[in-house]
Structure 1
Amino acid sequence: MREDYDVKTANPRPNPQARELKQQITIKIAPTVIQYFKEESARTSIPYQTLINMYLADCVKSKRRLDLSWRPA
């Protein structure tokens, strides 16, 4: 390994996964929902935030629509 590098001669390339990087947000989620995903996390050894993201990504992929029929008219 070199002691120093000349960045002027580097060959920079765009990150091919840059589109897939996650965006940090703040969201209010019911404690029961968080608890459900934390329990699934313990069962699967997958971090609960990752499980929530995986579930939401699956909803997007399958174009799942919300059933809002329970709401009063």
Structure 2
Amino acid sequence: MRDEYDFSQSVPNPYTQSLKKQITIRLEEDVINYFKTLASETGIPYQTLINLYLQDCAKSQRKPSLEWV
């Protein structure tokens, strides 16, 4: 390892704007099972599928349809 490094020619990381933020979210077990089943069918991790679905909802500005019983 060097004592000093020259970073004068370095460039900023282009991916820092798209970093994900870790949160805690409570989901019902059937929702998790649905995405886990979908994950096993597609080969995509279930957390990635949930993120993709939520991204799609946000981009299309889809609002949930709620029925209060």
TM-score bin, normalised by smaller chain: 0.7 to 0.9
Q: Which amino acid aligns with 1:49?
A: Q
Aligned length: 68
C-alpha RMSD of the superposition: 1.6
Aligned to 1:35: 33
Unaligned runs of 5+ in 1: none
SS of 2:24 mapped into structure 1 = coil
Q: Does residue 52 of structure 2 align to residue 54 of structure 1?
A: yes
Q: Which runs of 4+ in 1 moved over 2 A?
A: 3-6
The structure number with the bigger radius of gyration is 1
* Alignment match of 2:61 (pick from 44, 60, 63): 63
* Alignment match of 2:17 (pick from 16, 19, 23): 19
Residue 16 of structure 1: CA displacement?
1.2
Q: Which amino acid aligns with 2:20?
A: K
Is the deviation greater in 28-37 or in 16-25?
A: 16-25
The TM-score with structure 1 as length reference comes to 0.82
Q: Which amino acid aligns with 2:19?
A: L
Residue 5 of structure 1: CA displacement?
7.2
Residue 67 of structure 1: CA displacement?
1.2
Measure the CA separation in 2 of the matches of 1:5 and 1:34. Answer: 49
Q: Which amino acid aligns with 1:54?
A: L
Per-residue CA deviations over 1:11-67 (Å, capped at 9, x if unaligned) read: 332211111100001110000000000000000000000000000000011111111
Name the % identity. Answer: 46
Q: Which amino acid aligns with 1:55?
A: Y
Unaligned runs of 5+ in 2: none
